Structure 1
Amino acid sequence: MAIDGAAPCGGLEDVKFRVRGVNVYYGDKKAVDNVSLDIPTEFVTAFIGPSGCGKSTFLRTLNRMNDTIPGARVEGRIELDGEDIYSSSMDVVQLRARVGMVFQKPNPFPKSIYENVAYGPRIHGLARDKTALDEIVERSLQRAGLWEEAKDRLNESGTALSGGQQQRLCIARAIAVDPEVILMDEPASALDPIATARIEELIHELRGRYAIVIVTHNMQQAARVSQRTAFFHLGELVEYGETSDIFTRPQVPRTQDYITGRYG
C-alpha cells in the first residue's frame, strides 16, 4: 500500500524507499525527528550534515540495523517497493539481503577472500553447486573492482588486503547476495585519497544497478557521487533535492549556512 502525500523531493523517478513520519529514539533521546522522503531507484542519494545530526541513525532504519541496539525504537512508516519493512511479517534476514550495508570501517570476516564473498550466497541458497558459487564470487569481485587484484589470492585472508581493498571486498560481499539497495555509511572516511577515489569510481559504476544511499561528512564527495542530497541537522531533515540545487541554490538558510561553512 502506498503512503499518501507528496515526497519532499522533486522529480518523477521510480521510488525504492518511501519514508513518512519517521522518529528514532535511543531510550528517551530522540535522535531522528519526523523524517519523510522518497529514495529513488536509479540515483545515488547522499545524506550530509554535521556529526551527530542523525544521518547514520536514519540510514540504519532502512534495513532495521537499529533493531540490534538496546533501547532503540523506530516510529513511522518505511516502505521498500510498497512493503512496510517494520511489519511483523517482514523477514529481517531477507530484508538485509535485499538492503546491503557497507560500514565506515572495513570489516571483512576473518576468512579467505573467497569465503568472504561466498558466505552470503551460501547461507541464502543462491548457488546450486560449487561452479555457480565460483561464478557469483568472480562476478561480485569484478563488479567491486577487485577481481584483477584478488583472483590469484582467493585463498588468502581478507584481512591481509589493504584498507581500500578490504572496503571493496565488503562491497563485493554485499553485492554477492544480489541486493536491490546498498547503504554506505561513510565508506571512504578511513581510507587514503587514492583508495577514496577508487570507491567513488565504484559508486559511479554501480549506480543504476542498485539504489545507493551514502552517508558522508565530505560535502565535496556528496557533490561528486550523488544525484540527490538530503541535509540533516539536529535530527531533522532540513532540505532534500537534486544535488546540484542543494549545493548551488539551497532553499533553506540552515542549508546555505552549512554548505558555506558557517557551522559543521
Structure 2
Amino acid sequence: MTSLESSIRVQREAGTVTVTFDRPATRNGLRSQEWVHLKETLHEIDKNTDDRVVVLTGADGNFSSGAELGDSSEDLFPLAPMQIVNDACLAIRRLNKPVIAAVSGYAVGAGFNLVLSCDLAVADSTAQFSQIFIKRGMSPDFGGSWHLPQALSLHRAKEIAFFGEMLTATEARELGLINHVVEPEDLAAFVDTWAAKLKALPPIALARTKHLLNSSLESSFGAALDREAVFQEHNFTTLDTHEAISAFLEKRAPRYTGR
C-alpha cells in the first residue's frame, strides 16, 4: 500500500503542517494510497513536538471530491477499502493537535465529511458542499452519518443526505457546519492567523480540550465531569499550566513548551 505513489503534499513551517490534496484532474479525489498517506502523516505529526497545528486543504481551487470511484490500484479484500478510509478518519479525531480545514471549491462526499471531521473549518466564497453519495447509489461514509445529526436536527440532516444537493459556503456557515466564510484572496491569511493563535496556546491543555469536547457527544454528563476532573488534575502536573499561572500573575506573555 505505502509503495504506491500518493499525491498528498506535506509542508512544514514554524509549527504548522499543511497537508494538501493534489490531484487537480479529479478535483483532488482520494485513492487508497492517499487515505493511507493521510493516516500515516497524522500519526507522524502526533509524535513530533515541533508540529503544533495541521491545515488540510486542496490544490488548484478545490478541497476534495472525496474517495475516487473505480479505484482499483490494488487487489484488496472487500472490507479493506472502507477500513482504510475509517483509519484516516479516526486519525484526525484522535490527533492531539488541532486540525483546520481550509476549503475552496468542491468539498463533496468524503471530502465534505473530511471537513466535518476537522476541529475548525474555514471556507472561501467559492466553496460548495454536498453529501453526494446518494447520487452515486451509496450512503454516507467518513463519519457523515454521525456528524450531520450531531450538528443539525435529524430532519435537516436527512434532507441533506437524502437529496445530496449542493450547499454554498454561506449556507454551510448558517447551518453551523463550518466556522467562517471569507473571500478567496483572504483564505490563506485567515487560516494563518488562526494557526498562529492556536500555536500560542498550551499544547497539552489544547489537546485535552479537543478530546473532552469530542467525547462529550458520546457519553453522559456525569462521565464528562469525571473526565474533566482527571484531565484538570493532570494539567496541574504540567510545566505549561504553572507557566500560564505565573505569566498571568507577572503580567507577561506565557512561554509554553508542551511539557
Q: TM-score, normalised by structure 1?
A: 0.28
Higher RCO, 1 or 2 (CA under 8 Å, sep at least 6)?
1
Instruction: Provide TM-score, normalisation by structure 2.
Output: 0.29
